[in-house]
Amino acid sequence: MAETNQKQLEQLCSELDKAWQKLNLDQKIEQAATLEQQVAEPELWLDPENARQVNEKLAHLSDEVEPWKLLRTQLNDLDELLQLADSGLEEEVKEQIEILQDQLTELKKSLRFTGKYDHNNAILRITAGVGGTEAMDWAGMLERMYLKWCDKRGFKTNCLERTTGEEAGIKTAVYEISGTNVYGLLKSEHGVHRLVRLSPFNADNLRQTSFALAEVLPVIDGDADVEINDKDLRIDVYHSGGHGGQSVNTTNSAVRITHLPTNTVVAIQNERSQLQNKEKAMEILRGKLVQMQQEQHAESIGKLRAGESAKWGQQIRNYVLQPYKLVKDTRTKHESKDPDAVLDGNIDAFIDAFLEM
């Protein structure tokens, strides 16, 4: 058994080394060490915004590399234990190898995130489709589903914009989601979601079909990757609305930015100041233009065409609650017969199916 354990351990170490190189973990460990030195410098904290960005980058790198470092340490410790000829721990070693193999299999899922922005945070924007209260209620159900999923994953969510429906649900909601590989995971959710159910808002309890759009955009902090000509922007400021609070309806703090060549509009009013709203709106605009660039297979932002972003086209997923229960993805054909669990945030199987496709 000792010889078998040794071969399995060597195979495990070989798999780890290949994944380690593919993910450039040595380079990322060096980057993390550099950021740790910056965080330790008092001068960094003179610029709170820069300090926040450095800390976020360090947290993301640590979340990515620490599990791999721990696995390598465990494999080294196991190898040393296996070298003890009189250890008499072959069964225990075999069990530990199986545990570490499962851990490596789980970690290797990160190899699926090869896109340029897969490691970035994401902006999630949910919009109710045509259909009044029905559609707004469905958009609210989607919002709850994604917030539940984020909570289970330990991802941080920050509401940037939210407009509620008159009777139920939401008209729109915009969230910034922070965590490891958030965009790489959530990009599978970008598109139209269709619900079929017996209407709770119809006196005759008729079957109703509702639509909601989920837009998933990468968070791009700076202008380096996305060059936007200032002449292509129209920036409007206006009084923010809402339920009250400092700056609401008292100053022109709300910002609406229009990218003229593509007629892409982003409006933000939740931040305290006009400057903060403008920065957040530009962040979302960069993500929108990158998403359009990917959809249109354009070489650059300057070659984007207006009105050709995937909006209210064919739905990516159907959620049927009546006359039977089924959630089915139209792209991967993955399905679940437990829509209640899916709407409770259990969407990882759909995400995995998309990433493996």
**What are the beta bridge partners of residue 234?**
258
Please state which CATH class domain 2-112 belongs to: mainly alpha
Question: What's the CATH fold of domain 122-219+316-356?
Answer: Alpha-Beta Plaits (3.30.70)
Cβ-contact 336, 349 below 8 angstroms? yes
What is the side-by-side order of every strand in the sheet holding 317-320? 156-164, 170-178, 122-128, 207-218, 191-198, 317-320, 326-329, 335-336
Q: What is the pLDDT of residue 87?
A: 57
Identify the burial level of 281 via C-beta atoms within 10 angstroms of its C-beta, where 0-12 means exposed, 13-18 middle and 19 or more buried: buried
Torsion of Cα atoms, 331 then 333 then 337 then 343, to 10°: -20
DSSP string, 159-225: EEEEEE-SSSSEEEEEEEEESTTHHHHHGGG-EEEEEEEE-TT-TT--EEEEEEEEEEEE---SSSS
CATH of domain 230-303: 3.30.160.20
Q: What's the pLDDT at 313?
A: 64
Positions in the chain short of pLDDT 70: 1, 84-89, 222-225, 240-252, 271-272, 297, 299-313
Q: Residue 55's closest CA among 38, 31, 30, 43? A: 38
Distance from C-alpha of 158 to C-alpha of 147, rounded to nearest angstrom: 10
Residue of 337, 218, 196, 340 whose CA lies nearest to 285: 218
- Give the pLDDT of residue 72: 92
Tell me: the pLDDT tens digits for 11-25?
Answer: 889 989 988 988 889
For residue 286, the model assigns a pLDDT of 85
Domain regions of the chain by residue span: 2-112, 122-219+316-356, 230-303
